[in-house]
Amino acid sequence: MRSAAVAFYLCLFLYFLTGCSNFIILNSTKLSTSDHTISDTLISKALILEKQMELNKALLIWKVIACRGPHYQTDQTVQDKIKTLQNRIEYLVKTHYDKGCLYYSQKALEDARREFLIILRYQPQHAGALDYLKNRLTPPVYINYQAAPKDTLQSIAKAHYNDVKKALLLAWLNDLDDQVKLKPGTLLCLPVLPKINQVSKKSTSTLSQVKRLVKKQQYSKALAMINKLLNKTPNNSKFILLADAVHIAMARPYILDQKYEIALSLLNKVSPSYPRIKQILDDFYIKRQAYQSKQLLQIANSHLTAAEYDKALQVTNEILLKDPENREASSLVDAAHYALGRKLAADKNEYGAWRQFKKVSPGYKNIGQLMQNIQKKLNKKADTYYKTGVKYYLRENLAGAIQKWKQTLKYNPQHPKAAKDIARVERLLEKLKKVN
């Protein structure tokens, strides 16, 4: 009776211990499951942010994912994503800055402002964009002027404002005495004030002569005449409009001949006030982009045919960076990864092949079948590494075991035991360190 009671209580005790150990195991499993869930949530969040063009936020989330565990740090997909996003941000900043500067030079200030604001979204401390936004895009209050020999404040006031009396304003603003002689080279701040603009009227006969030349498509002669007129009356809106029309007419044949750089140099001379100039420029950029993409696609295709997969991918990525919607480039990327993957698989580099196949769009050719085959082989390799790791563990070579299990995860990130075992052994190693 007594021994039966002892046995019963002993069983009860053991049951409790089992319960506790189960609780510990369950707890640790829960933690790692929730760990994975959090990373999955973060990944989907990063992808949504990327879609919304919140690239910096997306990049940061990918970095958080990379920091969350040893296998994420080494996961090539995560690292690739980080690199791609960094490159994309860098590229966008550069492109928008160039665009902004171009718009600014064409006096399309609202468009320029938009481009510089986009840059600040990606790079909030971009000095160039900030300088344009704060200093150059608002009409200046001052201009700088370097005094020439024989300049006086009165002569400068006369030249700039048609008003000698404003010499006293210049003297006060520049901490000078208005009666003192100016030293040549002195740098002065001149407020930008309205000046009565005396536009001289030119004979209409010259203008009609220019119009006749334009009709006959004798653009160079017409332009030379307009420039002469503009030298005398720079603000004459009729002459400016005519000069703009001539520049656009001159650019057209170059666009048809796909000589885009010459065409652009002519279009850049058109004043921003010309009606529909923005639309003309937008159409021009679309045509130039399509032409450049076509040329690059040809190059990529020739690389692909010559089995130069890396080069083909480099070129297609360049196209996709500028034109992410380009379908031909996307299918070329698929073809390159597919061919490279098959080549690696033939060379028995299953992991390399798997990485390439992963980058191919899901519906491409027989990629699903190929992926399954490769995954099976990788799982086998992973199991071999896992078992070797277990052997190391039993021989008390803990570092070696961790290394093998990490290799297991490389080949099969979903391996049911490797991640848990690594964590367990790492905890053990930490405890050992503390004891030592």
Partner 1 sequence: MFKQTHNKIMRANLFLGLVLCLSLMACAYQRAPVDSRITLPNACFPAGFEAVEICREDSFASLAAFYLDDPAKGWLIDQYNGHPKLVPGDIIIIPPDSFNRAGLVPDGFQTVPVLAYQCLVQKPSNKFEVITNRFVEQMDFLKENNYNIITLDQLIAFINYKEVIPPRAVVITFDKGWRSFYKIAWPLLKKYNFPATLFLHTDFIGNKEGLSWKELNQMSKEGLDLQCQTKSLRNLIKNKKGDSFKSYFKTLQKEVMDARSIINIRLGIQCKYIAYPYGKTDNLVVAMLQKLGISAGLTLERGSNAAFSDNFRIKRSMILSDYNIEDFEENLIIFKSMALK
Residues that bind partner 1 (CB under 8 A): 2, 5-6, 9, 12-13, 16-17, 19-20, 23-24, 27, 34, 38, 41-42, 52-54, 56-57, 60-61, 63-64, 66-68, 113-114, 117-118, 120-121, 124, 130, 133-134, 137-138, 141-142, 163, 165-166, 168-169, 172-173, 189, 191-193
Q: At closest approach, how far in Å is the CB of 316 from partner 1?
A: 23
Q: At closest approach, how far in Å is the CB of 419 from partner 1?
A: 18
Q: Cβ closer to partner 1: 180 or 256?
A: 180
Minimal CA–CA distance to 411: which of 387, 372, 385? 385
Taking each helix axis from N to C end, the angle separating 55-67 and 2-51, rounded to the nearest 10 degrees, works out to 150
Q: Which residues pair with 189 in a beta bridge?
A: 144
**Which positions ≥6 away from 236 have C-beta within 8 Å?**
199, 202, 229, 230
Q: Cβ closer to partner 1: 173 or 428?
A: 173
Q: Which residues pair with 188 in a beta bridge?
A: 145
SS3 for the chain, per residue?
A: CHHHHHHHHHHHHHHHHHHHHHHHHHHHHHHHHHHHHHHHHHHHHHHHHHHCCCHHHHHHHHHHHHHCCHHHHHCHHHHHHHHHHHHHHHHHHHHHHHHHHHHHHCCCHHHHHHHHHHHHHHCCCCHHHHHHHHHHCCCCCEEEEECCCCCCHHHHHHHHHCCHHHHHHHHHHCCCCCCCCCCCCCEEEEECCCCCCCCCCCCHHHHHHHHHHHHCCCHHHHHHHHHHHHHHCCCCHHHHHHHHHHHHHHHHHHHHCCCHHHHHHHHCCCCCCCCCHHHHHHHHHHHHHHHHHHHHHHHHHHHHHCCCHHHHHHHHHHHHHHCCCCHHHHHHHHHHHHHHHHHHHHCCCHHHHHHHHHCCCCCCCCHHHHHHHHHHHHHHHHHHHHHHHHHHHHCCCHHHHHHHHHHHHHHCCCCCCHHHHHHHHHHHHHHHHHHC
Q: At closest approach, how far in Å is the CB of 191 from partner 1?
A: 4
Q: Cβ closer to partner 1: 124 or 184?
A: 124
Q: At closest approach, how far in Å is the CB of 4 from partner 1?
A: 11
Q: At closest approach, how far in Å is the CB of 302 from partner 1?
A: 34
Q: At closest approach, how far in Å is the CB of 67 from partner 1?
A: 5
Q: Cβ closer to partner 1: 172 or 291?
A: 172
Q: Cβ closer to partner 1: 120 or 390?
A: 120
Q: Cβ closer to partner 1: 22 or 372?
A: 22
Q: Cβ closer to partner 1: 192 or 199?
A: 192
Q: At closest approach, how far in Å is the CB of 24 from partner 1?
A: 6
Q: Cβ closer to partner 1: 130 or 390?
A: 130
Q: At closest approach, how far in Å is the CB of 399 from partner 1?
A: 22
Q: Which residues pair with 145 in a beta bridge?
A: 188
Q: At closest approach, how far in Å is the CB of 26 from partner 1?
A: 10
Q: At closest approach, how far in Å is the CB of 82 from partner 1?
A: 9
Minimal CA–CA distance to 236: which of 206, 199, 204, 210? 199
Q: Cβ closer to partner 1: 62 or 309?
A: 62
Q: Cβ closer to partner 1: 34 or 295?
A: 34
Taking each helix axis from N to C end, the angle separating 367-394 and 398-411, rounded to the nearest 10 degrees, works out to 170
**Which positions ≥6 away from 264 have C-beta within 8 Å?**
251, 284, 288
Q: At closest approach, how far in Å is the CB of 338 from partner 1?
A: 32
Q: Cβ closer to partner 1: 23 or 291?
A: 23
